[in-house]
Structure 1
């Protein structure tokens, strides 16, 4: 080491910290407000670390959103894997809607930022398609492929409504809708 040079800091988690910081910045500033400078500051790393670990902003966003989507899909998969039978699977879908998907404001914003980015830039659609495929695969443990597609779409739509609606969702109504979509008799008596 020459005079005036600092020893290199050993930081094996730096790349992961940058990815996590990117998600935090997207959650607060949106994709458009996410710059490498802001992410570096949020991760508490030198700006040069950004170009060392990522070829550019697009690669960083792909890595960050890929991580977010994989984590969300894994939670979906865990919930469905825990269901021992079809009835438990119906109730698991309700728990996904009422508790898991968009459990936090951060998750809601990140999901919508990813959807918007994928709608604008086809290069990001593989992330959303993989997420949807994994969700349908998890549902496929208990339901046929056509029902999986409908239930997956319902989960997405209901979670958006639950997150943004000023009226709280009723879990009984959600279970009734899930039963109908799955071709199971309604849990409510007809009027």
Structure 2
């Protein structure tokens, strides 16, 4: 039987199996024994490659965020103009929400972990920063921030719906965020009309 040293794919197989197990049973369903059995590796190889279950989980989610970042790059690079960028954002939202059940569940598990542990918050922040940097090639930083929130939020919302998905509605939402309507622009920000008096002011 190949040892961990002579089987360089074993570590990657363990991480891939961990993600599959999390997607199916949640974090609570993960253990060294379950991972080893499903990955088809000796139980001892778990401690050979990782110091503990926390390291397994952290490495697995790091690999998962690398996958999401690569997916983002596929859609948000080599775009000619803002029109292509808007279409790419719509496509990315639909890929995230219409993709595999595995990816959807893992994203939610990652968000849950990120609310409690700094390591996972850093993974989400790295993913967010990368997405915004791609968007800022075509939009100002404030708009890129709003688009990133829309991508994550709308993908989650759409994933939970049972009604048919309409890409036209998604495109309209992206267009509303990326198009200045009324008012002027100062430093990339939409200038809101100023109220000359409180709305509850009484006539004197």
TM-score, normalised relative to structure 2: 0.83
**CA separation in 1, counterparts of 2:98 and 2:136?**
22
**1:156 partnered with 2:152:** yes
Task: Give the counterpart of 2:63 among 55, 62, 67.
Answer: 67
> Could you give the per-residue CA deviations for residues 96-144 of structure 1, whole angstroms, max 9, x where no partner exists?
1112455111110000011111112233211111111111112122111
What is the match of residue 9 of structure 2?
13
Q: Is contact 2:96-2:155 (8 Å) kept? A: no
Larger mean Cα displacement after TM superposition, 44-53 or 75-84: 75-84
Q: Is contact 1:140-1:148 (8 Å) kept? A: yes
Equivalences for residues 104-143 of structure 1 within 5 A = 104-143=100-139
CA RMSD after TM alignment: 1.7
Unaligned runs of 5+ in 1: 1-5, 186-191
Task: Give the counterpart of 2:174 among 165, 172, 178.
Answer: 178
**CA separation in 2, counterparts of 1:7 and 1:136?**
44
SS of 1:20's partner is helix
**1:95 partnered with 2:79:** no
Q: Is contact 1:94-1:178 (8 Å) kept? A: yes
Number of equivalent positions: 180
**CA separation in 2, counterparts of 1:54 and 1:102?**
33
Task: Give the counterpart of 2:143 among 144, 147, 172.
Answer: 147
What is the match of residue 37 of structure 2?
41
Unaligned runs of 5+ in 2: 182-204
What is the match of residue 188 of structure 1?
none
Q: Is contact 2:17-2:38 (8 Å) kept? A: yes
User: Taking structure 1 as reference, are residues 102 and 15 closer, same or farther at Cα in structure 2, changes over 3 Å only?
Assistant: farther
SS of 2:27's partner is coil
Task: Give the counterpart of 2:46 among 41, 44, 50.
Answer: 50
> Could you give the per-residue CA deviations for residues 67-120 of structure 1, whole angstroms, max 9, x where no partner exists?
111111111112111321110000000001112455111110000011111112
